[in-house]
Structure 1
Amino acid sequence: MTGSSFRVLAVDGHDLVGPAVVADRSVPVTAGGRADVEVRVPDSGAVRVQVPGASLVLGPNGALADEAPAPRDRLDLLSYGEPAPAGIDPASADRRFAYDIGRLPGFLDGRPGYWWTINGGLGAGVPMYMVDEGDVVVMTISNSSGEGHPMHLHGHHLLVLSRDGVPSSGSPWWVDSLDVAHGESFEVAFVADNPGVWMDHCHNLPHAAEGLMTHVAYTGVTTPFRLGRDTGNDPE
């Protein structure tokens, strides 16, 4: 964003509490993520909203927008906005899981390669995360794989509790997709309120096809569908 100030009103469809006016910052939006941004157009001139590979100029006809490069400094959503009740109590979590992302040589679907791993496992060797309906679940997502990953759990929203041990101090930050850089560790929470068998994977889909995919499954919920080439169901 160049040429004016703005507020981030919502992330991934969830309103933020007390979003302050900021300037000279970029807004991180990961793969599959969304942000609602309120932009102030100057009385004279225009503002330019930039995204990778494109930009949008807002203002009266003929107004010239600032052509400066996009700001390098990012708005930190961990501390943006005002604290408020999130409607979930992670301190009394029913389940706690580790989701450690790595990379190892091995065989995936019979193919040799250098694959993404979850808790040291590959493909079918990664157990599902099992929950009961109504559980409050806390998950620690750590990344030592050498690359960043936009992590996405289907059917649920994640509440970001901390990053690298630093607690969230701003508005409750709910996400669909969470960008986890190499060397980072996030603690997140969700309520198991949507029974099913749900993918929990990297939203960089080639990474998902290369091993960075597992499932959150509810006790007692089954499905007739199976993955793998032999089943004819090979979505990746």
Structure 2
Amino acid sequence: LDEWMSKPEEGESSMVGMDHSNMGSEEDSDKETDSEDSSMSGMDHGNMVSDSNHSRNGMGVMGHDMSAYDIFSINGKSGDSIEPLIVKEGEKVRIRLVNVGYMSHKIHLHGHDFNVTAIDGQELNEPKEIKDQVISIAPGERYDIEFTADNPGEWFIECHGDMEGTSGMKTKIQYENSSNSADKPNQSEELPEFTFVNYGASEKGEFSLGQKFDVEYKMDLNTAMEGSDMAYTINGKTFPETDNINVKEGDLVKVTLANNSMMDDHPMHLHGHFFQVLSKNGKPVEGSPILKDTINLKPGDEYVVAFKADNPGNWLFHCHDLHHATAGMVNMVKYDGFKPSFSPDPNANNKPE
């Protein structure tokens, strides 16, 4: 799942600024398409490098205008160019939904009961069947859903919302030898949103709210103006001035994340570790233990998470809306005594962090 900005120049076939997503084979890129929204040729995924439109760390007014991302894609294609998923009746089907873009997407599977079997690659305990709920997937998150192909025909799997690019993020579940279906897109319909806080069967996890931790840290996620530019802060500071989470190998670490921004979601992503989600907004997680490496905080949300410091290194903990990370919302988990086994090339054309 991804988003793109269309370029104003007609006839331009190059893909500018798209260095983090593979748009398919060269063979595919040479094919002509029939509709305007089905070709990704000439699209700009957004440039995080400073230029006339990007001031502080690449974050200017243009970086915040998410409406500029007017084309949404699945596996690098949009609209009619997205290939359907072909299934046979009776098959068990598993789909991994991966958000590699800058904004959250609500995905709706039509015509089938399904289970959410894994989140961020971590299996859930005894997931239960649900139907006609949207899965809201924030930048950096991964959700696996599983269903039995027991309803022959053609059924949509689509993004819900009202942005210009929303209608391009849909495809069909298509049964072999069965194309009869009265299913129609319903992207504007309000549907219940899946939540993991009470989903699946309860099971003892590695951590609990009442236990003793070696390190406790709180992240106040917020915004501030720096001159004419928006900064995204952790405890009132921007990277590299943010305070590290300093740990020793074997430490048990509890982190409380609170989104005090007025408008922005913050999908916070920890490198090198998975954490257990212990509570949301003061209420303990009651269903399956939830292990994640990315947690999305809407304005006003507070999550408590815990992890074991068992992977020595210097690891980023940052907002996965990379506009926000570039504008300061980054800190690090740093292990005492860790020394990298490499030295940066002094002639490299970048500055290591």
TM range (shorter): 0.7 to 0.9
1:143 equivalenced with 2:259 (yes/no): yes
Q: Distance in 2 between matches of 1:156 and 1:142?
A: 20
TM, length-normalised to structure 2: 0.60
Structure-2 separation of matches of 1:189 and 1:33: 18
Match of 2:196 among 64, 73, 77: 77
> In the alignment, is residue 99 of structure 1 matched against residue 213 of structure 2?
no
CA deviation after TM superposition for structure 1 residue 225, in Å: 6.8
The structure whose residues are more often strand, as a share, is 1
Which of these two proteins has the greater Rg computed from alpha carbons? 2
Contact conserved, 1:88 with 1:191, CA < 8 A, in 2?
A: no
Verify the 8 A CA contact 1:57 1:65 in the aligned structure 2: no
Alignment of 1:136-215 (within 5 A): 136-146=252-262, 147-215=264-332
Q: Which residue number in structure 1 is paired with residue 115 of structure 2?
A: 7
Deviation at 1:66, TM superposition (A): 2.4
SS of the equivalent of 1:208 reads helix
Q: 1:205 to 1:43 in 2, by over 3 A?
A: closer
RMSD: 2.3
Gapped runs of 5+ residues in structure 2?
1-108, 160-165
Q: 1:207 is paired with a residue of what secondary structure?
A: helix
CA separation in 2, counterparts of 1:67 and 1:6? 19
| C-alpha distance in structure 2 between counterparts of 1:79 and 1:66, whole Å | 31
Aligned to 2:157: 49
Q: CA deviation at 1:136?
A: 1.1
The alignment-based identity, stated in percent, is: 31
After the TM superposition, which of the residue ranges 151-160 and 217-226 deviates more from structure 2?
217-226
Matched residue type, 1:40: T
Give the paired residue count. 228
One-letter amino acid of the counterpart of residue 131, structure 1: V
2:62 — aligned with what?
none
Post-superposition Cα deviations, 1:70-118, rounded to whole Å, max 9, x if no partner, equal 56211111110011122335512111110110111237xxxx6220110
Task: State how far apart, in whole Å, the 2-side matches of 1:83 and 1:232 are.
Answer: 47
For residue 65 of structure 1, report the CA deviation from its aligned partner.
6.2
Match of 2:351 among 206, 228, 233: 233
Deviates most, 186-195 or 90-99: 90-99
Say whether the 8 Å CA contact 1:2–1:67 is kept in structure 2. no
* Structure-1 residue corresponding to 2:238: 122
- What is the distance in 2 between the residues matched to 1:19 and 1:134? 31
Distance 1:77 1:172 in 2: 9
Cα 1:148–1:43 change in 2 (3 A) is closer
Q: Which amino acid aligns with 1:166?
A: K
